[in-house]
């Protein structure tokens, strides 16, 4: 690792940090931040968790120089980042507490949610830290969940006629600038490569933060006639967004994995239909696979993707801190991008027409949401459909019985579960006590533990322990006869129970309000709110501003934000739900008489809208 400090002759920016890969074809990702005049070069230890990368695309590029990262704003942001920079690191267990905290998450979920989360994902071997701030290693225990999500979603989009492709990681400055207007707000997050070896590249190239500007120039070449439509492509890739807010593994990292779908249609009707088909698939990923309830809705004008016509979204909820989280989005881009990139086709009348486009994305954030929603004080609680191991078989030996007999039984059970398509494994590691194994597999969130001991052999039963129902209540004997079917039924029951439980909690945490005075008190109960709203951007701006000010007065909330785990106390609109019934609330139809609840806003309400503090 080399750390550079230098200054560009004609720029107020300096290189504060660059990472050099020790491979044959070296390239540097140069991170630019505000003024420094010294030129130093030092070799530092690679083993640091505190690589303070503050990349700002802006310096050398017209894209950003023209855009929204003016110096005062940037300084403010950097100051804020410094404050928030404390890395999320699992605290070692020490001292008097160590003895009783060595198991499970090490801290109660309700006591310190931030520490709980960090402990769980590291101890369960989902994630490990890396020496570039904001980047994490996804270990097999989390990556295989991503593979489950991929398997389902990929299969479904293929049924809709979507094909996978791969477009390059790099974007030229010119291509990125095509989207200048829309990228403005995002520009500070774009990371750039400016060097190869010791030489400056003649033109810096950006690393994809999203691929509109990479894919659409090719689309313009490929699409000529209505016969070339629809074009439906998807790619499963990594993207880089150099976030300045405090990173949270899975939820907000500087590199993450996602799928991005980019489709092109001849008509708005076809495009609109797809927007909601995809949204429904996203809902299925969350609800059917991850057992996390989400609300389908439309983003407000302020919260939509600026480049598009409208943004449909699914919104999740984290009960432990009362925060909503955008779970996935499906955008109708209209003809905005086809205008910018000249994606035109000759229609059936022989006339030129602009194409209608959509884009949609789902990320590894989904794994973090699932962990936060279902996990408990003993660790992960994995929904069976995505659990890398659905059943772990634990043979228990006692002095006076032959371990061979137990091992044979375990192998027999394993074979019959695997034959039934269940992801099962035997834990016959030596040197671990039954208690150790119990704690280990609980922490990993495996849905069913099957214990087999000498008595069970005699009785021709095995003992089931459900991860979702702790203690004795979740422990019961199951006859060997019909074991595979019973296991499948219990896995289904666990899956359904997790969704039902999370849905009830989410619904219990939605408050219906009609007046501004109710807003902050409800948010402070860690609720999200459903309120009659006028949809005006100025009203939303005000809601954000006032809710932030009022929240800061709340000492508890302040303490939380100082810990850095949550962003701000500001609340914003989450979505205009497609079905208000989704959150199990009965609200009167808006007649045109109902006032908007918004602060100081005198307009009439047009939509019941979900608001909340969010990630």
- List Cα–Cα distances, 194 to 29, 197, 200, 205, in angstroms: 7, 10, 6, 7
For the bound state, the minimum distance from the C-beta of residue 185 to ligand 87F, rounded and expressed in Å, comes to 8
Minimum CB distance to ligand 87F smaller for 326 or for 557? 326
Alpha helices in 102-246 (DSSP H): 113-123, 140-159, 173-177, 180-183, 212-222
For the bound state, the minimum distance from the C-beta of residue 266 to ligand 87F, rounded and expressed in Å, comes to 21
Give the CA radius of gyration of the chain: 26
Burial of 379 (0-12, 13-18, 19+ CB in 10 A): buried
**Residues in the site for ligand 87F, rule: CB under 6 A?**
183, 186, 189-190, 209-210, 212, 241, 260, 305, 329, 331, 359-361
Pairing of the two strands 607-613 and 571-577? antiparallel
Q: Report d(CA 335, CA 308) in Å as an integer.
A: 8
Minimum CB distance to ligand 87F smaller for 357 or for 594? 357
For the bound state, the minimum distance from the C-beta of residue 589 to ligand 87F, rounded and expressed in Å, comes to 32
For the bound state, the minimum distance from the C-beta of residue 74 to ligand 87F, rounded and expressed in Å, comes to 15
Both structure tokens of 250: 């899975």
Minimum CB distance to ligand 87F smaller for 62 or for 421? 62
Minimum CB distance to ligand 87F smaller for 307 or for 368? 307
For the bound state, the minimum distance from the C-beta of residue 533 to ligand 87F, rounded and expressed in Å, comes to 23
Minimum CB distance to ligand 87F smaller for 190 or for 294? 190
Three-class SS state of 240: strand
For the bound state, the minimum distance from the C-beta of residue 27 to ligand 87F, rounded and expressed in Å, comes to 20
Minimum CB distance to ligand 87F smaller for 122 or for 329? 329
Is cis: bond before 187, omega within 30 of 0?
Answer: no
Selection from 381, 329, 336, 375 nearest residue 354 by Cα: 336
Q: Report d(CA 126, CA 187) in Å as an integer.
A: 31
For the bound state, the minimum distance from the C-beta of residue 255 to ligand 87F, rounded and expressed in Å, comes to 12
Minimum CB distance to ligand 87F smaller for 211 or for 503? 211
> For the chain, how many residues are written?
615
Selection from 520, 537, 602, 606 nearest residue 573 by Cα: 537
Question: Kindly report the CA angle at 258 between 255 and 264, in degrees rounded to 5?
Answer: 130
Minimum CB distance to ligand 87F smaller for 210 or for 573? 210
For the bound state, the minimum distance from the C-beta of residue 233 to ligand 87F, rounded and expressed in Å, comes to 11
- Residue of closest CB approach to ligand 87F: 361
């Amino acid at each position: 690792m080399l750390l550079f400090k230098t200054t560009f002759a004609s720029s107020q920016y300096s290189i504060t940090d660059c990472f050099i890969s020790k491979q044959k074809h070296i390239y540097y990702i140069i991170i630019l931040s505000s003024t420094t005049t010294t030129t130093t070069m030092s070799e530092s230890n690679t083993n640091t968790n505190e690589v303070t990368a503050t990349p700002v695309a802006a310096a050398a590029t017209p894209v950003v120089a023209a855009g929204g990262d003016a110096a005062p704003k940037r300084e403010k942001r950097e100051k804020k980042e410094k404050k928030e920079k404390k890395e999320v690191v699992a605290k070692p267990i020490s001292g008097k507490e160590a003895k009783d905290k060595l198991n499970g998450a090490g801290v109660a979920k309700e006591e310190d949610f931030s520490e709980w989360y960090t402990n769980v994902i590291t101890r369960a071997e989902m994630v490990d830290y890396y020496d570039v701030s904001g980047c994490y290693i996804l270990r097999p225990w989390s990556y295989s969940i991503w593979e489950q999500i991929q398997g389902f979603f990929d299969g479904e989009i293929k049924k809709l006629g979507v094909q996978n492709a791969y477009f390059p990681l790099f974007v030229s400055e010119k291509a990125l600038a095509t989207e200048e207007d829309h990228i403005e707000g995002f520009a500070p997050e774009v990371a750039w490569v400016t060097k190869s070896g010791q030489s400056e590249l003649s033109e810096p190239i950006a690393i994809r933060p999203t691929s509109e500007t990479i894919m659409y120039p090719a689309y313009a070449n490929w699409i000529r006639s209505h016969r070339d439509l629809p074009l439906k492509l998807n790619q499963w890739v990594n993207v880089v967004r150099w976030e300045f807010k405090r990173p949270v593994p899975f939820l907000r990292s500087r590199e993450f994995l996602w799928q991005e779908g980019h489709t092109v249609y001849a008509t708005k009707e076809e495009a609109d239909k797809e927007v909601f088909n995809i949204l429904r698939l996203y809902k299925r990923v969350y609800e059917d696979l991850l057992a996390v309830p989400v609300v389908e809705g439309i983003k407000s004008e302020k919260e939509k993707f600026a480049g598009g016509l409208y943004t449909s979204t699914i919104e999740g909820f984290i009960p432990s801190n009362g925060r909503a989280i955008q779970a996935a989005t499906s955008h109708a881009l209209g003809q905005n991008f086809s205008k910018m990139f000249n994606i035109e086709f000759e229609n059936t009348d022989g006339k030129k027409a602009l194409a209608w486009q959509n884009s949609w994305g789902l990320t590894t954030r989904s794994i973090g949401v699932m962990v936060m929603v279902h996990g408990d004080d003993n660790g992960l609680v994995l929904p069976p459909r995505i659990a890398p191991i659905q059943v772990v078989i634990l043979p228990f030996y006692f002095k006076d019985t032959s371990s061979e007999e137990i091992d044979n039984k375990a192998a027999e059970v394993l074979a019959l579960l695997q034959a039934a398509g269940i992801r099962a494994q035997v834990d016959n590691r030596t040197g671990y006590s039954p208690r150790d194994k119990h704690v280990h597999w609980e922490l990993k969130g495996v849905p069913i533990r099957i214990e087999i001991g000498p008595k069970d052999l005699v009785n021709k039963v095995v003992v089931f322990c459900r991860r979702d129902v702790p203690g004795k209540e979740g422990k019961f004997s199951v006859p060997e006869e019909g074991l595979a079917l019973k296991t499948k039924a219990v896995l289904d029951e666990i899956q359904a129970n997790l969704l039902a439980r999370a849905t009830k909690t989410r619904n219990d945490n939605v408050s219906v309000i009609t007046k501004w005075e109710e807003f902050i008190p409800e948010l402070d109960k860690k609720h999200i709110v459903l309120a009659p709203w006028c949809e005006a951007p100025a009203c939303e701006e005000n809601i954000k501003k006032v809710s932030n000010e009022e929240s800061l007065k709340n000492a508890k909330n302040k303490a939380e934000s100082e810990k850095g785990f949550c962003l701000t106390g500001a609340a914003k609109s989450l979505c205009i739900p497609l079905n208000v019934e989704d959150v199990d609330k009965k609200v009167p139809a808006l007649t045109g008489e109902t006032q908007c609840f918004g602060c100081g806003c005198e307009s009439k309400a047009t939509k019941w809208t979900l608001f909340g503090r969010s990630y």
